[in-house]
């Protein structure tokens, strides 16, 4: 349903734009206007952006795991957004260079009427596209996301009541939980979203979450699917169309002004065009022309129209480039942050860490990783050190709850059981891979669970010693005495591990 809408819109816009591109090329051949040809190629780049977005949407629907990709392809939309953003930046770059070229060599616009006609047609198409993609709730601004989301929500899901049922006696915490979960859903984007903005929507949204019963469940999920990753993708397309619309506006304005104000050189008769020639030649020609002509003929020398008109085009182009870059940068930043596996903005890893550590039964936490797959799917992993399995059983649920409260719903918690007598708090991983694998681990082992790290270059030298894993002897019937190796950790270039076995 929702995604069909997205695809339909993209396809429709794609067809329109391609058609217009063909038309523009034809017109440019007929009028042999090079400017029109370059404008038509801007349309072609638009087409490419739409194709990229379409491909991303197609891919991202396959959320099931496959052999090639255990997460499904949900990330495709974020990638599509990034590609579009980079593409747009490159386009701005080339437009900039063209504008600089125009500054040095200004051109007149030939046949302004035709240019106006085509420009207006292009503008209409682009405005249509803007409407199409704006309806998605994109709006071009980060904080409009939440509004767009709930707008769609209100249309589709009749609410049972304005307020969700909250468990009695726990209003504050429940409210906070709902807020965080809706925050996750609604604003994976800018940090400008305050809770007040979401305040009126969050009740509805939490309705979705809290009271999702089986009947509405499928609807809710689909609405949640149309979440920020899809919005990122659409934003990319929107920005492309927006850039194109701006380009069309510039073309039309320029042509109109040209048509109105420009005083062209007529075919016959002496004409002096002060704008196009070299400055050195300018005065020479003028003086020669004036000298040769009689006084009576001076009035018949036409001087081509106001020169500033020729510079209008590049100036407007420069302004357009600035606007485009300014609006593209947030999109670029957002998709890059997701792809860099950063912690989503609304989650504070330190507070999460401390919350987990204050649970009783938890001795240490390490390898805590939180990252965003796409949209509202946030994934977390952690290794939790507990004294024994039964303690772990008791805290396991609580741990998951803490993660859930932060909006992290796909977690993998690995319990590790320390042997008796190990120091608490110095949580080195009990089960790393072998020593020599340290470079290939995702993060250098040897993180202190309590440390706040900034930069740490962990390059490990391979020593002959091996880290072995000792199992608590009470649990095993086979008595294997595994020697434990003690290494020391220092922050030097050669870093070795300390195992507190």
Partner 1 sequence: MGRYSGRSSRLVLMCLVSLAIFAVEISVAYVGNSLSLASDAFAVLSHLISMIIGLFGVRFSRVKWHKASTYGFSRADVLGAFGNSVFATALMFSIFVEAIKRFINPQKTEKALLVLIIGISGLFFNVLNYAIFMECCYCRTPPGDTETGDSPNDQKSPEEGYEKKKEKKSEALNIRGVLLHVMGDALGSVVVVVTATIFYVRPLGDAPCNWQCYIDPSLTIVMVFIILSSAFPLIKETSTILLQMVPKGVNMQLLTDRLARVPGVSSLHEVHVWELASGKNIATLHIKCQTPSDYQDAAYKIREVFHKAGVHSVTIQPEYVDHKTSRLLCSSPCISKACDSQLCCSQREPPRAKTNGYMEKSESCLSAEHKDNGSRKSDVEIPVEDPAAEESVKICDVSDDKSQSGSTRF
Q: What is the DSSP string of 24-68?
A: HHHHHHHHT-HHHHHHHHHHHHHHHHHHHHHHHHHHHT--S--SS
Tokens for 38?
């370059």
Give the nearer residue to partner 1 in terms of CB position, either 166 or 327: 166
Shortest Å, Cβ 94 to partner 1: 4
Measured from the Cβ of residue 294, the count of other Cβ atoms closer than 10 Å reads 6
Give the nearer residue to partner 1 in terms of CB position, either 132 or 241: 241
Residues contacting 85, CB < 8 A, separation 6+: 236, 239, 328, 331, 332, 335
Residues contacting 209, CB < 8 A, separation 6+: 178, 181, 182, 185, 220
* CA gap 323, 318 in Å, rounded: 9
Distance from chain centroid for Cα 210: 28
* CA gap 350, 98 in Å, rounded: 49
Give the nearer residue to partner 1 in terms of CB position, either 263 or 459: 459
Shortest Å, Cβ 428 to partner 1: 14
Give the nearer residue to partner 1 in terms of CB position, either 81 or 132: 81
Shortest Å, Cβ 464 to partner 1: 8
Give the nearer residue to partner 1 in terms of CB position, either 175 or 303: 175
Measured from the Cβ of residue 458, the count of other Cβ atoms closer than 10 Å reads 17
Shortest Å, Cβ 48 to partner 1: 8
Shortest Å, Cβ 54 to partner 1: 16
How would you classify the pairing of strands 302-303 and 364-374? unpaired
Tokens for 238?
């929107």
Instruction: Supply the DSSP symbol for 72.
Output: T
Tokens for 384?
């939790």
Give the nearer residue to partner 1 in terms of CB position, either 275 or 373: 373
Q: Which residues of 444-453 are buried (b: 16+ CB within 10 A; e: fewer)?
A: bbbbebeeee
Give the nearer residue to partner 1 in terms of CB position, either 132 or 180: 180
Tokens for 301?
């020398």
Shortest Å, Cβ 151 to partner 1: 19
Shortest Å, Cβ 489 to partner 1: 14
* CA gap 106, 373 in Å, rounded: 49
Give the nearer residue to partner 1 in terms of CB position, either 214 or 260: 214
Shortest Å, Cβ 211 to partner 1: 6
Shortest Å, Cβ 217 to partner 1: 8
Q: Which of 161, 226, 220, 131 is nearest to 188 (CA)?
A: 226
Give the nearer residue to partner 1 in terms of CB position, either 162 or 169: 169
Instruction: Supply the DSSP symbol for 460.
Output: B
Are 184 and 235 spatial neighbours (Cβ–Cβ below 8 Å)? no
Shortest Å, Cβ 13 to partner 1: 20
Give the nearer residue to partner 1 in terms of CB position, either 327 or 436: 436
Beta strands in 44-148, from DSSP E residues, in sequence order: none
């Amino acid at each position: 349903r929702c995604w069909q809408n997205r695809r339909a819109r993209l396809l429709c816009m794609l067809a329109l734009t391609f058609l217009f591109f063909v038309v523009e090329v034809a017109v440019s051949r007929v009028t042999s206007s090079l400017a029109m040809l370059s404008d038509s190629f801007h349309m072609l780049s638009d087409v490419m952006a739409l194709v990229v977005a379409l491909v991303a949407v197609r891919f991202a629907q396959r959320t099931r795991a496959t052999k090639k990709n255990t997460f499904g392809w949900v990330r495709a939309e974020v990638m599509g957004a990034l590609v579009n953003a980079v593409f747009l930046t490159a386009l701005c770059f080339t437009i900039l260079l063209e504008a600089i070229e125009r500054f040095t060599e200004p051109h007149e616009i030939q046949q302004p009427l035709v240019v106006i006609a085509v420009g207006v047609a292009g503008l209409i198409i682009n405005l249509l596209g803007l409407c199409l993609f704006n309806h998605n709730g994109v709006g071009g601004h980060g904080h409009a996301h939440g509004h767009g989301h709930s707008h769609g929500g209100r249309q589709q899901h009749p609410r049972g009541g304005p307020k969700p049922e909250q468990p009695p006696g726990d209003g504050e915490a429940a409210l906070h939980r709902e807020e965080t979960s809706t925050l996750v859903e609604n604003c994976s984007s800018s940090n400008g979203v305050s809770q007040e903005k979401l305040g009126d929507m969050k009740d509805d949204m939490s309705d979705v979450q809290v009271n999702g019963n089986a009947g509405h469940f499928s609807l809710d999920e689909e609405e949640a699917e149309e979440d920020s990753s899809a919005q990122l993708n659409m934003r990319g397309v929107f920005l492309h169309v927006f850039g194109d619309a701006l380009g069309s506006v510039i073309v039309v304005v320029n042509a109109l002004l040209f048509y109105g104000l420009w005083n062209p050189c007529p075919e016959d008769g002496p004409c002096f065009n002060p704008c196009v020639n070299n400055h050195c030649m300018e005065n020479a020609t003028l003086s020669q022309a004036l000298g040769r002509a009689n006084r009576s003929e001076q009035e018949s020398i036409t001087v081509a129209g106001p020169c500033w008109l020729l510079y209008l085009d590049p100036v407007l182009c420069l302004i357009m480039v600035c606007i485009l870059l300014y609006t593209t940068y947030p999109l670029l930043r957002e998709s890059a942050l997701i792809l860099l596996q950063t912690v989503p903005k609304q989650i504070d890893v330190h507070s999460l860490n401390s919350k987990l550590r204050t649970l009783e039964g938890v001795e240490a936490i390490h390898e805590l990783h939180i990252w965003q797959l796409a949209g509202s799917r946030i994934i977390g992993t952690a290794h939790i050190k507990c004294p024994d399995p039964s303690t772990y059983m008791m805290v396991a649920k609580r741990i998951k709850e803490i993660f859930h409260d932060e909006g992290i719903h796909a977690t993998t918690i690995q319990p590790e059981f320390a042997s008796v007598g190990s120091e608490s708090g110095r949580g080195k991983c009990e089960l790393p891979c072998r020593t020599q694998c340290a470079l290939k681990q995702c993060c250098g082992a040897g993180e202190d669970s309590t440390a706040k790290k900034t930069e740490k270059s962990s390059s490990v030298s391979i020593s002959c010693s091996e880290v072995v894993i000792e199992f608590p002897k009470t649990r095993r019937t086979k008595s294997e005495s595994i020697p434990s190796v003690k290494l020391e950790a220092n922050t030097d270039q050669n870093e070795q591990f300390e195992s507190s076995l």
